[in-house]
Amino acid sequence: MTTAEDRNRYFDALSADDTLIWMGQNTNHIPAHPEVTEAMIAAIRSGAFNAYAPPLGFESLRAAIVADLGVAGRALVTEGGVNALATLCRARCRPGTTLVTSDPTWKWPGLFARQQGAEVVELPIFGPETGYKLTPDMLRRAVDGRCALIYLVDPNNPLGTTYTAEEIGDFLQIARESGALLVHDCTYRDFAEGHVPAPRLDPENAVCSVSFSKWLGLAGMRVGALVGAPALIEEVSGYASSILGAGVVAQRGAEAGLRVKAEWMETVLRINRANQEAVKAAAEAAGLSVLVWPSQANFLCLGTTGLAPEALVEAFRRRGIMIRQGTYHTARFGHSFVKVSTTVPEAWAVRFCAELPGAIAAARSLTDIPALF
Ligand SMILES: Cc1ncc(COP(=O)(O)O)c(C=O)c1O
């Protein structure tokens, strides 16, 4: 049995290694846009951080988030997308309700829902039969009057698949018929082609969670948002634990990021795509498979048939590179893949590719694999 202290020591050891190549958590390590860095430094220099931010977020940032998503609604700025989702689960999940999601999914909202006494229904999407995606038929069979939240991670982490506007429309129809709320987790939307946030199609029965961790690289700053209809944001804000607002410095960085977004994302998408091409070629040459191509996110899901993902993760860790084992995401399907993030400097991707054959060879004979998180 591993403890919270074990988990903390694991991440603390990774953080303590300042040469670590972070390719396991879909974070973005491309050197920040100077205007984003400047905005955060200005907030520090001016002492703006001595005061709390407004409880729902700075109005300028709230407006910029809503405009960026292209929806009619309001934003509740949170300490990362994870707290947007936690707050929503606290507001809506109760004993007797369900949260319906895919498997794999991003696992933490399921935990939050269970903590509220709700039941979590995970629909298997791990396979080429449905293109590693949820289908409206699968969803319809699982959603009934008990369903409080349909939690859709789009693009899916860890698979890298995305949904069309038509599919989102079908999911919304199901949500409306059952009285559920469609929660569209848009954390990776900026990496996808033609992504449509659900509230654009149905402002009442859908809500989005967004993050500044992946596209902008602010993971350690902790800033994200929940975006939905004004009445929903009013309701959900009553369950927020961030009564005293999200971080001031983080919010100023996020605002600057939205101002330079078009220019910044051109750079990020170019580097991400080139890194994905390189990792794909190296993986296939080494006998691994790329489960979903092209990926619509900033990572690749690599099939490891015949090789334990945990062993490969540990072999890479010993080489100073963090990648993620599939069981982080899914107990059912996690024994056959690893996930490798690609919003990293090109030199990191080159290192990963160069180390891959040696790491695979080492993984085959590894027997002492510590607990991974
Ligand atoms: C699907 C998904 N949603 C939400 C989050 C949380 O992001 P944040 O860093 O904004 O809390 C993550 C982070 O990995 C994620 O993968």
Mean pLDDT for the chain?
Answer: 97
3-class SS of residue 277: helix
Identify the residues whose C-beta falls under 6 Å from ligand 1. Answer: 26, 80-82, 106, 153, 157, 185, 187, 211, 213, 219, 224
Cα of 27 from ligand 1 centre, angstroms:
9
- Is the domain spanning 4-31+262-365 CATH 3.40.50.1010? The answer is no
Query: Exposure pattern of 318-347 as b/e (b: 16+ CB <10 Å)?
Result: ebebbbbbbbbbbeebbebbbbbbbbbeee
> Which ligand 1 atom minimizes the distance to the CA of 25?
14
Tokens of 344: 């990293």
Cα of 81 from ligand 1 centre, angstroms:
5
> Which ligand 1 atom minimizes the distance to the CA of 153?
1
**Pocket-testing residue among 22, 107, 157, ligand 1, by greatest number of atoms within 8 A of Cβ:** 157
Q: From residue 187, how far is each of 84, 99, 196, 223, 277 by CA, in Å?
A: 11, 19, 13, 12, 22
Query: Tell me: the pLDDT tens digits for 12-29?
Result: 999 999 999 999 999 999
Predicted confidence band of residue 1 (pLDDT cuts 50, 70, 90): confident
Query: Tell me: the pLDDT tens digits for 124-161?
Result: 999 999 999 999 999 999 999 999 999 999 999 999 99
The highest-level CATH class for domain 34-259 is alpha beta
Cα of 82 from ligand 1 centre, angstroms:
6
**Pocket-testing residue among 88, 213, 241, 296, ligand 1, by greatest number of atoms within 8 A of Cβ:** 213
Q: With CA atoms as reference, report the closest residue to 250 among 30, 7, 32.
A: 32
| Span 219-243, average pLDDT | 97
> Which ligand 1 atom minimizes the distance to the CA of 83?
11
User: Whole-model pTM?
Assistant: 0.97
**Domain coordinates in residue numbering, the chain:** 4-31+262-365, 34-259
User: In this structure, what are the phi and psi dihedrals at residue 22, rounded to the nearest 5 degrees?
Assistant: -85, 100
User: What is the structure's pLDDT at 101?
Assistant: 98
Cα of 227 from ligand 1 centre, angstroms:
15
